[in-house]
Structure 1
Amino acid sequence: MTSFDSNNDDRFANIFIDEFGNSHTDLSKNGTFSHFIYTAVVIDSKDYDKAKKIREDICHVFRLGPNIKSSNIKEKQFDKRVNILKYLVENLDFTINSLIVDKSAITSEGLKNKKVFYKYFESLFVAKYNQKFTRYHIWSDSIGTDFRSELNNYIQTNAIQRDLFYPDRFFELTDDISGEKLVQVADFISGCVGKIFCASHAHEKARELFQVIQPRTSVEYFPFDSTPIIYSLDHNQTIDSEIRKINLQSISEHLNSKNTSREKHLLLNYLRLQNEINPSRLTPTHELSNYIEQFVSGFSVEKLRTLIRDLRFEGIFIISHSGKPGYKLANSYNDIREHFNHFLKYVVPMLNKVKIINDSLSSYSFNKINPIEKDETLKRLRELLMALP
């Protein structure tokens, strides 16, 4: 396909899209996906024929039959999944874009309707390619014949900016068996991404998958992740690097220790992976709990908080920010300082309350009752109160 391009950009992107999970927002049911994920595999149109050949080679080399289907690669075949992923990365240049939808954060009644859900999120996902490429062809896996035409028309109208200046922009819903078979590659990659980012269905060895695709993967979250990044004028990269090194070394020692419980092992592994994906993101409490609950029956948010408390006492830098739910690994001095300030907001008011009560007792008893001054068992508390401004 050739055409006039007002931006003199001769790139033509071929984009293949598939999803992981479903639109069900009632998360109380067992087995429900905690997240819905759109994943796109993007290649240069010049590599289209090469990609088709590689898809056929994968089917043959890994004995998959005529088609690649992520759901046919079972949990016990995880190593096979990793090897297929490595084969793709080693033999084809492509990038991966994913949109991770946290379904627990969906409060709109409209988005609880299946058709509205797919219209909204697919158009949101697709629209960004208008800013990335002047020319593209998008093939997206269809979700059923009853809704196919309606969804296609909606995306064409609301997400594809095609006009006189950008005529080479195409979108179509297709079946990955009878239609565009390269959508099977997106199906497989989407399955891998789901095992990394969908907490309720994430694999315990997800980090192995992420390490294969990390350099070519970009991720967006819904709702938009607004975790504040704390900047400092006295930023010291050497100190930041040392903090990361100390924390990761401590985590590695815990993971390699036979004394580390199953729950702690799962939590540390997941936090380490999330840190590699996005070091500034606070992983929501419910996401951590959902992940561990896959492997430990009856695990709860209360048990998670106890687990984090214990790991902090063991020297792991797991931090949280004031007013923001969730946890992350400390990566910098500013992370540590922000975390300490978070605790100060609780500690200082509590100390002030102690001082007020002690002052009242002392005043009304003519100092006959003054626990802070006279009780030696409260010596450490007295020292803390003396440090208050």
Structure 2
Amino acid sequence: MHNHIAFLDEWGNNGLDFTKKQVSTHFIVVTLVLPKDKKDEAERIIEAVRKQFFQTGPIKSSKAEDDAKRRRAILSALVEAPFQIFALVVDKRQLTSEGLHYKGSFYKFLHGLADRELYRTFPNLELVADMHGSETFMDGFVKYVQANHIPNLFNQASFGFVNDHGSVLVQAADFIAGTLARCYDETVISDQRQSFIELLRPKLLTLKFWPDVFAPSLVKATLNQTQYNPVLADLSVNLAQDFVHRKLSSRSPQDVDQHTCLSYLLFHFRHIDPTRYISSRELIRHIESRRNATVSLHYFQTKVIAPLRDAGVLIASSTKGYKLPASERDLYDFVNHSNTIIQPLLSRINKCRDQIRLATDGAIDILERTEYDSLRRMID
């Protein structure tokens, strides 16, 4: 039984000769993911958006072109629908393989990057994509996805094509892909890209980049040294990316939740605001939207954040939430926040120890066992 359904569309072309005017620098894949029982509600909301802004025609990013005000209004209406966004942004300028100059190989490579993670996260996903190329190519592409990205015969995953005129959810994916193009592609990039990303942020399940390099193009550039230390920022990002890459193939629910949480922290750090803390509630909601299940605060703290830190990932925390550290101030926030927890705990243990020793004339010392040596030294 399919638990989730996803609607996929793309922006860009397969050209790699960047001296030509119409060749995009990036290729963008956008998938709108939602539980199947939310499909009717999503279609109803998006159809209302289509009628309001496009009248009798389909929703098309190209129809908004460079009208940033109109694009923001359409985005604001679209994100009311109950979907989450999985997006892949590929810098084609980094594609150096000769084989990728062929259309079939090019699309297989790009969909391979996107579909692998989608089917890893949603093994029973029903994926619907807009048509591309000839019928022969489409038939071959379906077989390729089934062979490489649908995990096994026991899962009920499927893949199919539709014409975008027949699906308002595919149309919405088209509009969002075109919007992300205006955030990253050099041929259409907009000075309003920050506002577009802000509107999409609550819906972004994953924003994946290839190659995955630190690209602070959307980070505010007015930060002073107390807010942003490039050495610490690079270290935070590199350690986080290393963990994400190491856990990419894991299907363990805890590993997937850690990957989800850290990917969100990375995205926010790199493309929204590296100084802002993200609340536990926001991070938990993001994990819940991906696994479609409730996550407790205790689980989040002990099975997500704690293992990430144990693995060497730098995560600062304060009463305001969590973030990747970008400055010394972030590091001291973490130490100070931890100190407010550690010091009272040590004090309570010491009071308990003193009371027991006093009552038993020193016969019982609850910290005398070997496994408590470090704790005893701290208290003493």
TM-score normalized with structure 1 length: 0.55
Matched, 1:62 2:53: yes
Q: 1:95–1:216: 8 Å Cα contact kept in structure 2?
A: yes
Q: 1:244 aligns with which of 203, 219, 227?
A: 227
1:113-262 matches, within 5 Å, as 113-146=102-135, 147-164=137-154, 166=155, 168-178=156-166, 180-217=167-204, 218-225=206-213, 243-244=226-227
Q: How does 1:71-82 map onto structure 2 within 5 Å? A: 71-75=62-66, 77-82=67-72
Residue 332 of structure 1 aligns with which residue? 327
CA distance in 2, matches of 1:274, 1:27: 30
Deviation at 1:117, TM superposition (A): 0.4
> Using the alignment, how far apart are the partners of 2:208 and 2:24 within structure 1?
18
Inter-partner Cα distance in structure 1 for 2:147 and 2:229: 52
DSSP-derived class of the 1:61 partner: helix
Q: CA deviation at 1:200?
A: 2.6
Paired residue type of 1:243: T
Superposed displacement of residue 72, structure 1: 1.7
Report the 3-state secondary structure (helix = DSSP H, G, I; strand = E; otherwise coil) of the residue aligned with 2:32: strand
Report deviation, 1:30: 2.1
2:18 counterpart letter in structure 1: L
- Count of residues paired in the alignment: 235
Kindly state the Cα deviation for residue 106 of structure 1 after the two structures are TM-superposed. Answer: 0.9
Larger Cα-atom Rg: 1
Give the distance between the partners of 2:229 and 2:158, measured in 1 at CA: 50
Q: Residues of 1 paired with 2:34 and 2:224: CA distance?
A: 35
How big is the shift at 1:95?
A: 1.5
Q: Give the RMSD, CA atoms, in angstroms.
A: 3.0
SS at match of 1:100: strand
TM-aligned CA distance change 1:207 to 1:172, over 3 Å: same
Corresponding position of 2:20 = 29
1:270-285 aligned within 5 A: 275-277=270-272
Percent identity between matched residues is 28
What letter corresponds to residue 172 of structure 2 in structure 1?
V
**How far apart in 2 are the matches of 1:115 and 1:136?**
23
The whole-number CA distance in structure 1 between the counterparts of 2:115 and 2:93 is 23
Q: 1:69 to 1:153 in 2, by over 3 A?
A: same
Q: 1:51 aligns with which of 11, 34, 42?
A: 42
Instruction: Give the Cα–Cα distance (whole angstroms) in 2 for the partners of residues 137 and 51 of structure 1.
Output: 16
Q: Which residue of structure 2 lines up, in the alignment, with residue 97 of structure 1?
A: 86
**Contact 1:241/1:332 (CA < 8 Å) preserved in 2?**
no
The 3-state SS of whatever aligns with 2:22 is: coil
Structure 1: distance between partners of 2:127 and 2:150:
10
Q: What SS class does the counterpart of residue 56 from structure 2 fall into? A: coil
CA distance in 2, matches of 1:334, 1:28: 45
Partner amino acid, structure 1, of 2:11: F
Q: Which runs of 5+ in 1 are unaligned?
A: 4-11, 228-239, 248-272, 281-329, 336-389
C-alpha distance in 2 between matches for 1:150 and 1:74:
33
Within 2, Cα distance between the matches of 1:334 and 1:144? 53
2-side partners of 1:127 and 1:209: how far apart? 27
Distance 1:157 1:134, change over 3 A: closer
Q: Return the match for 2:75 from 81, 85, 91.
A: 85
Give, in whole Å, the separation in 2 of the partners of 1:95 and 1:224.
21
Partner of 1:182: helix, strand, or coil?
A: helix
- The one-letter code of the counterpart of 2:227 is R
The gaps in structure 2 that reach 5 residues or longer are: 216-222, 231-267, 276-324, 331-380
Contact persistence 1:37–1:100 (CA under 8 A): yes
